[in-house]
């Protein structure tokens, strides 16, 4: 691998991946944020380390830490990426970049920017398909949407509003529960029929899941146990086959691919339930203590565009099947 000698050798995507991995302290979470696999994250970073001729991360027992050189490098990366973003926003706001209008994310007139931070899965599985509705109702508000698993620090992050997952009590912030997490077991119709056949029954019971494959997630480890406990079927866990993924989103994708049964957030699988790609095995659902909250500093409550976006979100929840 030849060392890096000029800007032509710099891969900006690799720099973004390094920044993400350093901030989230995880190749897995960085992969979710950048929409690539953890293996691809590792390969990109290794290639960059070879080009730079120094190690950015120490890797030990599935954990990562920055080396001394890595810490200094990441500080400079963040500054460089911030400079690139600032330059882009300045060009957009000055009207010199007409190409951005083709994205239909900016209004034709001078926009008022609303900067939002959200969780990646919430964005891809629930929010983004609904955004055109907000744009149609608010043509003068331009949205700047970023995704992150990290808690939003409003004192250092130029963000107006965030949507975060948890049990509430976000210190120092205004918070409003958007909706609770409702968990349901889902799979393809073919998998459901195979479980019924193996159980030799027309009416599935939670205990019938011993004949299926349960899809687990490293980031949502308690979901299956909680749902089975509620339905008096904990004995299923040690008996059923299992496949484990490193994210809840991959569990859903695995269910769609016919790998087994996932216990999924109902709000995230509405489209698949509606189009028949997935089916709910049971009517019973588990309402988790966790939920999605709108949060922002109390002083932002006077921001008219934040209030508009907040009320629009609740209109979307009110019309959602969840």
Q: For the segment 9-47, what is each residue's pLDDT rounded down to a tens digit?
A: 567 778 888 988 998 888 888 887 776 888 888 999 998
Please give the C-alpha separations between residue 317 and each of 42, 179, 272, 305, 310, in angstroms, as whole numbers. 38, 8, 18, 19, 11
Tell me how far apart the alpha carbons of residues 62 and 26 are, in angstroms, rounded to a whole number: 9
Tell me how far apart the alpha carbons of residues 28 and 41 are, in angstroms, rounded to a whole number: 8
Look at 89 and 198; give whichever has higher pLDDT: 198
Split at pLDDT 50, 70, 90, the class of 255 is very high
What mean pLDDT value characterizes the chain? 84
Task: Count Cβ neighbours within 10 Å for each residue of 120-137 and write b for 16 or more, e otherwise.
Answer: bbbbbbbbeeeeeebeee
pLDDT of residue 113: 87
Task: Count Cβ neighbours within 10 Å for each residue of 185-209 and write b for 16 or more, e otherwise.
Answer: bbbbeebbebbbeebeeeebebebb
Secondary structure (H, E, C), 134-188: HHHHCCCEEEEEEECCCCCCCCCCCCCEEEEEECCCCCCCEEEEEEEEEEEEEEC
Tell me how far apart the alpha carbons of residues 226 and 236 are, in angstroms, rounded to a whole number: 12
Closest CA to 114 of 309, 266, 297: 309
Contact assessment for residue 211 and residue 198, using Cβ atoms and an 8 Å cutoff:
yes
Strand partners, 142: 113
Please give the C-alpha separations between residue 230 and each of 184, 239, 284, 287, 314, in angstroms, as whole numbers. 12, 18, 9, 10, 29
pLDDT of residue 127: 93
pLDDT of residue 30: 84
Range with top average pLDDT, 4-8, 35-39, 254-258: 254-258
Structural domains of the chain, with CATH:
7-81 (1.10.10.10), 101-180+290-318 (3.40.190.10), 181-287 (3.40.190.10)
pLDDT of residue 88: 52
Question: For the ranges 145-159, 176-190, 199-213, 239-253, which has the lowest average pLDDT?
Answer: 145-159
Q: For the segment 61-99, what is each residue's pLDDT rounded down to a tens digit?
A: 778 999 999 998 888 888 777 666 555 544 444 443 333
pLDDT of residue 89: 47
């Amino acid at each position: 691998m030849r060392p890096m000698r000029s800007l032509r050798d710099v891969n900006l995507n690799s720099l973004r991946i390094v920044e993400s991995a350093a901030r989230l302290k995880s190749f897995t979470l960085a992969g979710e944020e950048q929409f690539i696999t953890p293996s691809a994250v590792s390969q990109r970073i290794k290639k960059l380390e070879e080009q730079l001729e120094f190690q950015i991360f120490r890797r030990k027992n599935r954990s990562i830490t920055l080396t001394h050189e890595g810490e200094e490098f990441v500080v400079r990366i963040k500054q460089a990426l911030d400079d690139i973003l600032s330059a882009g926003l300045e060009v957009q706001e000055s009207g010199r970049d007409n190409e951005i209008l083709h994205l239909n994310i900016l209004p034709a007139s001078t926009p008022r920017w609303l900067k939002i931070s959200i969780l990646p899965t919430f964005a891809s599985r629930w929010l983004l398909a609904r955004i055109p509705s907000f744009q149609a109702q608010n043509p003068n508000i331009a949205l700047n949407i970023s995704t992150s698993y990290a808690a939003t620090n409003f004192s250092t992050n130029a963000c107006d509003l965030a949507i975060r997952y948890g049990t509430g009590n976000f210190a120092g912030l205004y918070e409003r529960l958007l909706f609770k997490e409702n968990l349901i077991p889902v799979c393809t119709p073919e998998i459901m029929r195979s479980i019924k056949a193996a159980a030799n029954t027309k009416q599935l019971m939670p205990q019938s899941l011993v004949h299926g494959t349960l899809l687990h997630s490293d980031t949502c480890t308690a979901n299956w146990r909680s749902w089975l406990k509620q339905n008096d079927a904990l004995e299923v866990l040690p008996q059923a086959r299992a496949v484990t993924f490193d994210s809840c989103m991959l569990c859903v994708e695995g269910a769609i691919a016919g790998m087994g049964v996932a216990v999924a957030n109902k709000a995230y699988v509405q489209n698949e339930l509606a189009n028949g790609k997935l089916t709910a095995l049971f009517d019973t659902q588990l309402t988790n203590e966790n939920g999605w909250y709108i949060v922002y500093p109390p002083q932002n409550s006077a921001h008219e565009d934040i209030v508009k976006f907040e009320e629009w979100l609740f209109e979307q929840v009110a019309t959602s099947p969840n």
